[in-house]
A and B are shown apart, each in its own frame.
Chain A
Amino acid sequence: MNYTEIMVRYGELSTKGKNRKDFISRLNGNVTKVLNGIDNLSIRPHRDRMHIQLNGADYKEVMSRLQKVFGIQTFSPSIKVSRDFEEVKKVALEMMKEIYTEGMSFKVNTKRSDHNYELDTNEINLQLGDYIYTEIPGIAVEMRKPDIKLLVEVRGDGIYLSNQVIKGAGGLPVGTAGKAELMLSGGIDSPVAGFLAMKRGVELEMVHFYSPPYTSENALKKAKELTGKLAAYSGPIKFISVPFTEIQETIKSELPEGYLMTIQRRFMMRLTDLIRKNNDGLAIFNGEAVGQVASQTLESMVAINEVTNTPILRPVSNMDKTEIIKIAEDIDTFDLSVQPYEDCCTVFAPPSPKTRPNLEKAIKFESELDIDGLVQRSLAGVTETIVMPNETFLDEKDEEISDLL
């Protein structure tokens, strides 16, 4: 079908009273960002829905990108027809035939915002319904739960027809909840935590620790590529990489093995918090799940969390691994996460870390180190890049290689 526009229905934001305007303008901005690069579109946000005029652009591409925008409840591709009712009938029938399969039922649902139109709402419902009923033998009429709802909207500039309702990503527009930092390792959990944070409207910046030469270039690329996957839901994301080698080497050589992990994590948390502050973030998200590994027991959380008062949010904390994996597969980060490039969490993992570290002991051991110096030197080496939606880093399409093949 030659769809002329996509009608977008807002999600939960309908309930957000006076903030509504901000939400809509944020959603408008986000939609504009994800549709960037598709020519000729005109996006018009209204109070209760948004109209995206295609002006000849590929509707499938537009719809597939919209599917990843939080704050959209549903959307419908629609066709604008002239006010000639014969034309309306003809196009409506074509649309119905396109999706009708044997045994389906339908109803016509008309909204008339232009009250000067020759037919009123009931007349349109009846006449169009009759026409389709006679032209498609076997189609049933069903008022309560029809399989196909043919929406007819009479507006000043024409009549808009649609008969499909596609589910959007739901949630709140990214950015409406403010900004926060995500501790992104490269494993399965942290991208899922990031996805869930964004779904609640949080704009994220990624904080990734790396330890060359213990970790390879590929571990860093993998984290960036995961960021690219998440950026498909939010638009470009700031990726902040933090050198961690000196801190890890120092802890390993100076402190008792049982506390390596706890104290490393305390440093990570400190650094993330400082980065958050510099970037005006409001909270820290991470991919910890209660009891999953030694660093994620409640005792460990107590010992690690102590370095800051900033809210630390753990969206996957109560999920089973299988539930987390399910989401990772849905958002297409799973295959990437399981690629075997060691990150800095595993490189220096002691053989038997304390699952119940003691906060006082951690503080005492740590005090033997030059905490400020270590933190400042690490911060001085921080680099920032902007990762674009679906940007890839691991198999950078190496031109040399594509030329060979």
Chain B
Amino acid sequence: MIYFDNSATTKVNSEVLNTYNKVSTDFYGNPSSLHKYGEKAFQLLTSSRQQIAELLKVKPSEIFFTSGGTEGNNWIIKGTAMEKRVFGKHIITTSIEHPAVINSVKQLEKLGYEVTYLPVDKNGFVRPEDVKQAIRKDTILVSIMAVNNEIGTIQPINEISEILTEYPTVHFHVDAVQAIGKNLEDQYMNDRVDFMTFSGHKFHAPRGVGFVYYKEGKRIEDFMTGGGQEAGQRSGTENTPAIAAMAKALRMLKEHEDSSAKQQLELKKMLVDHLEDMNNVTIFSPVTDKYAPNIICFALHGVRGETIVHAFEEYDIYISTTSACSSKKGVESGTLKAMQVPENIATSAVRVSLDDTNTKEEMLLFINALDEIYNHFQILN
């Protein structure tokens, strides 16, 4: 099997799973319990938080555990809306965000908040000057993703940050779910970013766990109210097995981040080079430093994306139409639509997403299969 759908989710690493199992069976105390066994679980939680903070060069108190990317995005957006509602009700985001962001702000619109959805240029990039123009006196939040999940554009977070330094009270949230571990930190982690969302299952940790970076001194409303876990901001008994597993997965990811990003870029280059030689193909993710090293979105004109996905299945190769979250609904890609890609091309787009486990051999096999599928449909057309 060749799994090229890593932006949707990744395989849990076996060592990471060992940690999950061991914590579930040997350290299952509740971190809030007073006794030694609970204390041990608390230590594990503390050490996990510390490890993640160290890996990201932030403070442990700035890391809050969540159930994943969707929760992180929901919390930061709605938490900001609730906390800052007396100062304003205007939110700026983009038209290419993940549904966890888009649908959170849409929900806020129903409650009377106003949302500006920034357009992107024809290549899928937000223009920093658009951010500047959209800012109003009552703007409370700017939420922009670091790496687009559908085509892999790296958004100009640093330039936007520079603009936002003039508006220090506006919360700046970056959805970094697709960006972590791709050796892109210097392109989105900077002092002006107040909040970031991360999800464990995008880097070989189990589902149902993630974390947010929540800058010291900033304040958003609590998300889950209850027993006061996570400094009272996100109650619910901590998912220690998954949290420890995620801390380990992040360490393993970071240990070879540089070389694995290079390796993924190599594979991406192989595929893009190949696609460039084909007719009736549109490539949305060229090989430049403005795109993530692991995502290749392209369209084979005249064939629907889902047809291509199914055709690859025959080869035991798994890719995706644009993003997994919307792909089953048969709707066209939000990002490509925002880029004003014609509908007939947008609906024929597919996404290949790599990670550190993929090999050159796999890519060669993939390219072979691609050629066969391509020829097959060329003949039909």
Contact = CB atoms under 8 A, between A and B. Distances in A.
B300 interface: no
A99 interface: no
Contact of B23 (A218, A395, A404): A404
Contacts of B244: 404-405
Nearest to B48: A405
Contacts of B43: 395, 398, 401
Contact of A404 (B22, B39, B46): B22
Contacts of A402: 47
B46 A405 contact: no
B339 to A, nearest CB: 41
B350 interface: no
A218 B43 CA distance: 12
Nearest to B245: A404
B206 to A, nearest CB: 14
Nearest to A402: B47
A127 B43 CA distance: 62
Interface string B28-62: 00000000100110011011100100000000000
Interface in A266-311: none
B22 A405 contact: no
Contacts of A401: 40, 43-44, 47
B295 to A, nearest CB: 29
A398 B23 CA distance: 14
Contact residues of A: prevailing secondary structure? helix
Contact of B47 (A217, A218, A405): A405
Prevailing SS type, chain B contact patch = helix
Interface in B190-206: none
Nearest to B52: A405
Interface string A374-405: 00000000000000000000010010011011
Contacts of B248: 404-405
Nearest to A216: B34
Range, interface on chain B: 10 to 19
A373 B193 CA distance: 63
B290 interface: no
A405 to B, nearest CB: 5
Nearest to B243: A405
A404 B23 CA distance: 8
Contacts of B48: 405
Nearest to B251: A405
Contacts of A405: 19, 44, 47-48, 51, 244, 247-248, 251
Of the listed residues A217, A398, A401, A404, the one surrounded by the most CB atoms of chain B closer than 10 A to its CB is A404
Nearest to B22: A404
Contacts of A398: 40, 43, 47
A218 B251 CA distance: 29
A376 B48 CA distance: 45
Most buried by A among B27, B47, B51: B47
A395 B39 CA distance: 11
B46 A395 contact: yes
Interface in B242-266: 244, 247-248, 251
B54 to A, nearest CB: 11
Interface string B2-43: 000000000000000001001100010000000010011001
Nearest to B46: A395
Nearest to B248: A405
Contacts of B47: 395, 398, 401-402, 405
Interface in B218-256: 244, 247-248, 251
Contacts of A404: 19, 22-23, 27, 44, 244, 248
A220 to B, nearest CB: 14
A217 B44 CA distance: 18
Nearest to A398: B43
Interface in B52-101: none
Interface in A213-244: 217-218
Interface of A: 217-218, 395, 398, 401-402, 404-405
29 contacts: A217-B36, A218-B39, A395-B43, A395-B46, A395-B47, A398-B40, A398-B43, A398-B47, A401-B40, A401-B43, A401-B44, A401-B47, A402-B47, A404-B19, A404-B22, A404-B23, A404-B27, A404-B44, A404-B244, A404-B248, A405-B19, A405-B44, A405-B47, A405-B48, A405-B51, A405-B244, A405-B247, A405-B248, A405-B251
Give the 10 A-B residue pairs with the shortest CB-CB distance, closest first.
A404-B19, A405-B247, A405-B248, A401-B47, A401-B44, A404-B244, A405-B51, A401-B43, A405-B47, A405-B244
Given A404-B248, A405-B47, A405-B244, 14 more contacts: A218-B39, A395-B47, A398-B40, A398-B47, A401-B40, A401-B44, A401-B47, A402-B47, A404-B22, A404-B23, A404-B27, A405-B19, A405-B48, A405-B247
